[in-house]
């Protein structure tokens, strides 16, 4: 099964907590704190792997998480760093942040990598909080939070040549004649429901060719299968437009040609700017290249600036000529720099260096003052509520960030209740 889109949830590893420990050995009085730091959480990484062709693996498994960092230990021993999780995807996969819709990275080439979720930092052990005044800190820092998000994986096939055209005009037959691919072929519409790839070996050169299914009038608005597969044409460098010149389906070949090009233009005008060769297929059904229907079609299409080739994919005639022309276009394009795709990119720097990290939000739940904030939550998770020094450290943070003065402006007084996460305590002015 060919799968070219998936939505998954990813999560990096949480940082390990710092340890609260004191050195206690014979003949070592007042050994002091010796709690080690926690290990960093594992990163979640996407990597392009040329051995993959589809996003099938993500159809069944939807959640991925890297390993958490190990907590710190006594005797100043650091916790082990969490293992990174490497997720392999086919080249041509775009990773999109679902919440913003912005592109995190286009994994175009084999080996391209993206750290999509960085692991949390390891928390500091209590040895780091020893001062001249605080000789025996009975608290340590909690590990950094894991990074969690939903991402969209969207695969755009990477092929040199794309076969386009209405259903049942002979695209799959042409692919079969040009390569060793064996697509499903039958005499009804939408025999091909997924893109098929093949490799053309032509003298001393070779290139990848793709049969792009599902194009009909209205495809850019979602008619047929078009909206699903128009995106795969974006990365083909040359187009071979296959037209049933025999009109065996009862349609006018020239109208077919114009309608498909109108769909390409409606999707994005860039598709119409790609080199396009026209395969006038099923030429054997109308008496060959000298027949009047073919000559009329050729004259009309060439007047629009396109090259037309008489082809019978079923009889395997004319196939080599159009493949040679495609190879020539690819050779010409190889001398030009590739066109970069324009995306609205995800702002990693803003996300990873959140300017609001230290902010404390204050809301009221009846008479209770409810405090929230990213750094506040980390310090709260580090607090030992059995130790006054640790509680004082939390209070100093609230004071330093202006939360105490702001609560007083809202009416905070002795005996009021303050809630952080699921913990409530009573406020008394010092």
Q: What is the pLDDT of residues 223-267, one digit of tens each?
A: 444 445 677 778 888 999 999 999 988 889 999 999 889 888 887
Of 35-39, 210-214, 220-224, 410-414, least confident by mean pLDDT is 220-224
pLDDT (0 to 100) of residue 194? 60
How many C-beta atoms surround the C-beta of residue 121 within 10 A?
A: 20
Q: What is the pLDDT of residues 189-206, one digit of tens each?
A: 444 446 677 888 887 788
Percent of the chain with pLDDT over 70: 89
- Segment 287-308 shows an average pLDDT of 94
Beta pairing class for 93-97 and 148-155: antiparallel
pLDDT (0 to 100) of residue 189? 46
- Segment 43-57 shows an average pLDDT of 90
pLDDT (0 to 100) of residue 213? 73
pLDDT (0 to 100) of residue 278? 96
Residue ranges of domains in the chain: 1-155, 161-334, 354-426
pLDDT (0 to 100) of residue 138? 86
Is the model's pLDDT at 175 over the cut of 50?
yes
pLDDT (0 to 100) of residue 214? 58
Of 90-99, 209-218, 257-266, 276-285, least confident by mean pLDDT is 209-218
d(CA 169, CA 282): 8
d(CA 77, CA 157): 49
d(CA 72, CA 268): 55
d(CA 180, CA 157): 19
pLDDT (0 to 100) of residue 211? 84
For residue 248, give every residue at least 6 positions away whose Cβ sits within 8 Å of its Cβ, in sequence order, or none: 282, 285
Q: Is 245 exposed, middle or buried (0-12, 13-18, 19+ CB in 10 A)?
A: buried
Backbone angles phi, psi at 305, to 5 degrees: 95, 15
Distance of alpha carbon 143 from its chain centroid, rounded? Answer: 27
Backbone angles phi, psi at 315, to 5 degrees: -90, -5
Does the fold of domain 354-426 match that of domain 161-334? Answer: no
Options 3.40.50.300, 3.30.365.10, 3.30.450.40, 3.90.1720.10; CATH for 161-334 is 3.40.50.300
How much is the mean pLDDT over the chain?
86
Nearest to 292 by CA among 355, 245, 356: 245
pLDDT (0 to 100) of residue 197? 75
| 329, two tokens | 């276009």
3-state secondary structure the chain: CCCCEEEEEEECCCCCCCCCCECCECCECCCCECCCCCCCCCCEEEEECCCCCCCHHHHCCCEEECCCCCCCECCCECCCCCCCEEEEECCCEEEEECCCCCEEEEECCCCCEEEEECCCCCCCCHHHHCCCCCCCCCCCCCCCCCCEEEEEEEECCCCCEEEECCCCCCHHHHHHHHCCCCCCCCCCCCCCCCCEEEEEEECCEEEEEEECCCCCCCHHHCCCCHHHHHHHHCCCCEEEEEEECCCCCCCCHHHHHHHHHHHHHHHCHHHHCCCEEEEEECHHHHCCCCCHHHHHHHHHHHCCCCEEEECECCCCECHHHHHHHHHHHHHHHHCCCCCCCCCCECCHHHHHCCCCCCCCEEEEECCEEEEECHHHHHHHHHCCCCCHHHHHHHHHHHHHCCHHHHHHHCCCCCCCEEEECCEEEECCCC
pLDDT (0 to 100) of residue 44? 97
Paired with 317 in beta bridges are: 312
pLDDT (0 to 100) of residue 222? 44
Distance of alpha carbon 318 from its chain centroid, rounded? Answer: 41
Backbone angles phi, psi at 352, to 5 degrees: -80, -25
| CATH class, 354-426 region | alpha beta
Backbone angles phi, psi at 405, to 5 degrees: -65, -35
- Greater confidence, 407 or 271? 407
pLDDT (0 to 100) of residue 387? 80
Torsion of CA 327, 330, 334, 339, to 10 degrees: -170
What's the fold here for domain 1-155?
Answer: Spo0b-associated Gtp-binding Protein; Chain: A, (2.70.210)
Nearest to 427 by CA among 410, 412, 411: 412
| pTM of the predicted protein model | 0.72
> How far apart, in Å, are the Cα atoms of 47 and each of 17, 40, 86?
29, 21, 7
**Angle, alpha carbons 186-189-191 (nearest 5°):** 45
Q: What is the pLDDT of residues 321-376, one digit of tens each?
A: 999 999 999 988 876 655 666 777 888 877 777 778 889 999 999 999 999 998 89
Q: What is the pLDDT of residues 375-408, one digit of tens each?
A: 899 889 888 888 887 888 888 899 999 999 999 9
Q: How confident is the model at residue 430 (pLDDT cuts 50, 70, 90)?
A: low
pLDDT (0 to 100) of residue 131? 84
């Amino acid at each position: 099964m060919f799968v070219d889109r998936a939505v998954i949830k990813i999560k990096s590893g949480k940082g390990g907590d710092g340890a609260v420990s004191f050195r206690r050995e014979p003949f070592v009085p007042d050994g002091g704190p010796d709690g080690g730091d926690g290990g960093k959480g594992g990163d979640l990484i996407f990597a392009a792997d040329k051995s993959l062709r589809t996003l099938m693996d993500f159809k069944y498994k939807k959640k991925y998480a890297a390993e958490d960092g190990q907590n710190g230990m006594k005797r100043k021993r650091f916790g082990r760093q969490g293992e990174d999780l490497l997720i392999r995807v086919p080249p041509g996969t775009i990773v999109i942040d679902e919440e913003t819709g912005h592109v995190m990275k286009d994994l175009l080439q084999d080996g391209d990598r993206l750290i999509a979720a960085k692991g949390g930092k390891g928390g500091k052990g209590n040895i780091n909080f020893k001062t001249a005044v605080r000789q025996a800190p009975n608290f340590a820092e909690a590990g950094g939070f894991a990074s969690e998000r939903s991402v969209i994986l969207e695969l755009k096939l990477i092929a040199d040549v794309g076969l386009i055209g209405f259903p049942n005009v002979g695209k799959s037959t042409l692919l079969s004649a040009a390569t060793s691919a064996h697509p499903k072929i039958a005499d009804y519409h939408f025999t091909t429901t997924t893109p098929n790839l093949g490799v053309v070996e032509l003298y001393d050169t070779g290139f990848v060719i793709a049969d792009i299914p599902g194009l009909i009038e209205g495809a850019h608005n979602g008619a047929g299968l078009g909206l699903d597969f128009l995106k795969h044409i974006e990365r083909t460098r040359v187009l071979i437009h296959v037209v049933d010149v025999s009109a065996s389906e009862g349609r006018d070949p020239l109208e077919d040609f114009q309608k498909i090009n109108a769909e390409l233009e409606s999707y994005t005008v860039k598709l119409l700017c790609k080199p396009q060769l026209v395969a006038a297929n099923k030429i054997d059904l109308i008496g060959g290249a000298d027949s009047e229907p073919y000559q009329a079609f050729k004259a009309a299409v060439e007047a629009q600036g396109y090259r037309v080739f008489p082809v019978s994919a079923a009889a395997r005639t004319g196939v080599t000529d159009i493949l040679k022309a495609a190879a020539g276009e690819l050779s010409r394009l190889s001398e030009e720099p590739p066109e970069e795709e324009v995306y609205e990119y995800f702002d990693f720097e803003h996300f990873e260096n959140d300017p609001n990290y230290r902010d404390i939000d204050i809301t009221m739940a009846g008479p209770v003052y409810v405090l929230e904030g990213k750094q506040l939550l980390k310090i709260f998770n580090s607090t030992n509520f059995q130790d006054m020094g640790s509680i004082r450290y939390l209070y100093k943070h609230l004071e330093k960030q202006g939360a105490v003065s702001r609560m007083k402006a809202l009416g905070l007084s002795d005996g009021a209740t303050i809630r952080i996460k699921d913990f409530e305590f009573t406020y008394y002015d010092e």
